[in-house]
Amino acid sequence: MKIPRAVAKPSRVEIVPLIDLMFLLMVSFVYAAMSMTVHRALPVDLPGASGAAVQRDDHIAVTVDRSGAIFLDGRAVAPEELAAEVKARLARTPDLKVSLDADRGAAYGEAVRVLDVLRRAGAERVRLSVQQEPFNHQDTKTQRHHQEKKP
């Protein structure tokens, strides 16, 4: 009696598990890259603006928190120390930008005072950080109408 031999199937490489693995690796690398970004400013509740654009470049991060305290790259400083440090950094890198992050709850005068200190220190390129919000023209009219009615 003749025993039938099993026919050898040609071997195949399954692509679907490899695609899953590549997707997992890509997500891991993106997550790792995002976690390595440098955030020098403190977390504050920024005011919103509909025309806000994201800018990513080297800058000095100055933060004014809700209580009016001033921070330079996450370190608490006095106004005089802020001016000296900004002046020294601008002497090393003249085209360096300064980012002013003022908390929404901070007094307007505090942000203006810090802006004045930065200008006197020689910072000509100061940008105010805001949180991007969708523009709603109707809300703007309503806010102006309510502001005009206040006694």
> pLDDT (tens digit, 0 to 9) for every residue of the chain, 151 residues total?
677 777 778 878 788 888 999 999 999 998 888 777 655 556 666 555 555 454 445 778 898 988 889 999 888 999 899 999 999 998 998 888 888 888 888 888 888 899 899 999 988 888 887 666 666 655 555 554 444 444 4
> How many Cβ atoms from other residues are within 10 Å of residue 151's Cβ?
2
Tally of structural domains, the chain: 1
What is the model's pLDDT at position 5?
77
The 10s digit of each residue's pLDDT in 117-140 is: 999 998 888 888 766 666 665 555
Please indicate, yes or no, if residue 17 is contained in any of the structural domains: no
List strands edge to edge, sheet with 97-102: 75-77, 70-72, 59-64, 97-102, 126-128
Question: What CATH number does residue 84 fall under?
Answer: 3.30.420.270
Please indicate, yes or no, if residue 29 is contained in any of the structural domains: no
What is the model's pLDDT at position 150?
46
CA distances, 90 to each of 86, 107, 111, 144 (Å): 6, 27, 20, 40
Query: Structure pTM?
Result: 0.53
Please indicate, yes or no, if residue 28 is contained in any of the structural domains: no
The 10s digit of each residue's pLDDT in 3-20 is: 777 777 887 878 888 899
Please indicate, yes or no, if residue 27 is contained in any of the structural domains: no
